[in-house]
Amino acid sequence: MDLGVGSTVELAATQPHQVAVEVLFPGEGEGDSFYGGAFTTFLVQRLWQASPAATYQEVFEDVHNALKRHQFEQDPHLSEETDRREAPLFQTGALSDGLALLPIVSVDGDRVEVGAGRAVGITSGSVLELEGGARILADDVSRDRTRGSVLSGQAQEGTGARVVGYRFPSSELAVNVAGVGTRVRDAAQAALGDVPGVSLVEDEGGFSHLFLRRTADDVRIVGLDGAIRHTFDIDEVGGEEFVHTLRKEAAARRLGEMDNLGQEFGLEVSMADDRTTLGLGELVTFRARSEREGYLTLVDLGTDGTVTVLFPNPYDRNNRVEAGEEIVFPSPSMDSDIVALPPSGRGMVRAFLTSEPLDIPLEDDFTQGDVLLADQLAEAVKSAAGPVEESSEAVRLDTWGTTSITYEIVE
């Protein structure tokens, strides 16, 4: 079949000089963990969540941002010389309300099995709504299956389901200390034992987000993809900077996982001129737009891991936005500039649009912190979203939205 020139779109997990990594995704409780390609796993999730009009370019950017939010170093590739980059992926009516429906594969009394699971992000304790209005509570989630009990209505095999209430799993940062000697391990345990949001893993085969690896002269903090994230002299392990670094890693993980599997409206954030790279000292301008009215919160996870509430702030507290309204930060009322500061590296800005303002402190200057502030922001988002009626642990997904943009500061 002659598809014509430029009809093929190539999606690759990495750039030619990089390695596509396969990582262990943790199970919940007694649930089985599973291996999967980082790019492929996030691509499957984004395809499921994509709107009917989503283009290859938009889904690709979503996947790239998801990789960066979860601290993977690889940069995926989308073929450039094709006119299909801006074409819609989906040409059928298989979508409902902007989300793909997950198939009900079996019904046995009040027990229902859904043909999707951890691989698309579903968690135990989440609530799914079936075509026809029935709702089920997920209580047994594996890689490719979700099993649950009917809460209301009647379930029918062959219909579809969507997530309407999501239970966020534990977001502790698991740091593996099995690959270092006793001295380093003891120092790390003494320093990190009481740090909120950080847990130490002593089993070499236990799931971990970060790994301590010792060489002859230093100790390295290595990510799931094998990339070296930080390097410390052996005598620095357990010190103030070591602890500070891991607290910020925990904060980035906490906010990086605040995704909405059932987001019902578009929310965009970008840098001026669609740039994502800045030189030290350059002016920084962000733009945001939401398809729905509400309260907009912008949070920066800086190149050094510092969490900063950009908007609202003491200089501009009014973060109420209308549907379609473009918000510029810094706003004219702030009468000030924001510049790209060291250290060089990669950062991220997360945007949250909620129906109620977030209950977060606005200090005399920009509110900053680490994992404690990240926890406060995450809990504020969940509180503003509200719980579903059927489960106090599951957060409603129809009342809020989120997006992110990654940026890089270079010397």
Instruction: For residue 190, give the CATH number of its domain.
Output: 3.40.50
Same domain, 241 and 361: no
Does 221 map to a domain?
yes
Q: Is 2 part of a structural domain of the chain?
A: no
> Is residue 1 over pLDDT 50?
no
Stretch among 54-58, 285-289, 406-410 having the lowest mean pLDDT: 54-58
Instruction: Say how many CA atoms lie within 13 Å of 318 toward its Cβ.
Output: 8
Residue written as tokens 């010397």? 411
> Do residues 316 and 195 both lie within one domain?
no
The pLDDT tens digits of the residues spanning 58-78 come to 888 888 888 877 778 788 888
CB proximity list for 121: less than 8 A, separation 6 or greater: 45, 259, 261
Q: Is residue 44 part of a domain?
A: yes
No. of helices (H) and no. of strands (E), the chain: 5, 29
pLDDT classification of 226: cutoffs 50, 70, 90 = confident
Cα 386 from Cα 239, distance rounded (Å): 40
Last residue of a domain, one of 166, 185, 200: 166
Instruction: Tell me the average pLDDT across 13-19.
Output: 81
Do residues 287 and 197 share a domain? Answer: no
Closest CA to 222 of 14, 31, 21, 15: 21
Choosing from 256, 276, 297, the residue where a domain stops is 256
Q: Are residues 274 and 394 in the same domain?
A: yes
Residues 246 and 279 in one domain: no
* Residue linked to tokens 């970060």: 210
What's the pLDDT score for residue 43? 86
Shared-domain flag, residues 162 and 177: no
Residue type present at position 256: G
Distances (CA, A) of 78 to 19, 51, 83, 86: 16, 19, 12, 11
What's the pLDDT score for residue 359?
94
User: Could you tell me the CATH number of the domain that includes residue 381?
Assistant: 2.60.40
Lowest mean pLDDT, pick from 97-111, 134-148, 151-165, 380-394: 97-111
pLDDT at 30 over 70: no
Q: For residue 226, give Cα distances in angstroms to 233, 235, 248, 269, 329.
A: 19, 23, 19, 30, 35
* Domain annotation covers residue 90: no
**At 120, phi and psi to the nearest 5?**
-105, 5
Q: Is residue 114 part of a domain?
A: yes
CB 188 within 8 A of CB 246: no
Q: Which residue has the higher pLDDT, 295 or 256?
A: 295
Please tell me the predicted confidence (pLDDT) of residue 382.
Answer: 95
The reply to whether 180 and 157 lie within a common domain is no
**Percent of the chain scoring above 70 in pLDDT:** 93
Res 34 pLDDT > 70:
yes
- Cα–Cα distance for residue pair 154/190, rounded to 1 Å: 54
Can you tell me whether residue 254 is helix, strand or coil?
Answer: helix
Domain tally for the chain?
A: 4
Domain co-membership, 277 together with 403: yes
Q: Is residue 143 part of a domain?
A: yes
If asked whether residues 180 and 226 sit together in one domain, one would say yes
- On whether residue 1 sits in a domain, the answer given is no
Predicted local distance difference test score (pLDDT) of residue 32? 66
End-of-domain residue from the set 221, 256, 291: 256
Q: Supply the pLDDT for residue 90.
A: 63
Angle between helices 56-69 and 38-49 (to 10 degrees): 130
Query: In angstroms, rounded to a whole number, what is the distance separating the alpha carbons of residues 92 and 53?
Result: 11
Q: What's the rounded mean pLDDT across residues 89-93?
A: 55
- Identify whether residues 131 and 216 lie together within a single domain: no
As a whole number of angstroms, the distance between CA 410 and CA 280 comes to 6
Amino acid (1-letter code) at residue 392: S
Q: Within 10 A of 314 (CB to CB), how many other CB atoms are there?
A: 12
For 140-171, give the DSSP string: EE-SS-EEEEEEES---TT-EEEEEEE-PPP-
pLDDT at position 325 over 90: yes
Q: What is the pTM of this model?
A: 0.84
Query: Would you call the peptide bond into 343 cis, given omega within 30 degrees of 0 as the criterion?
Result: yes
Q: Supply the range of the domain harboring residue 53.
A: 11-78
Residue 377 · residue 307 · CB < 8 Å: yes
Query: Is residue 352 domain-resident?
Result: yes
Task: Name the strand (E) or helix (H) holding 192.
Answer: helix 182-192
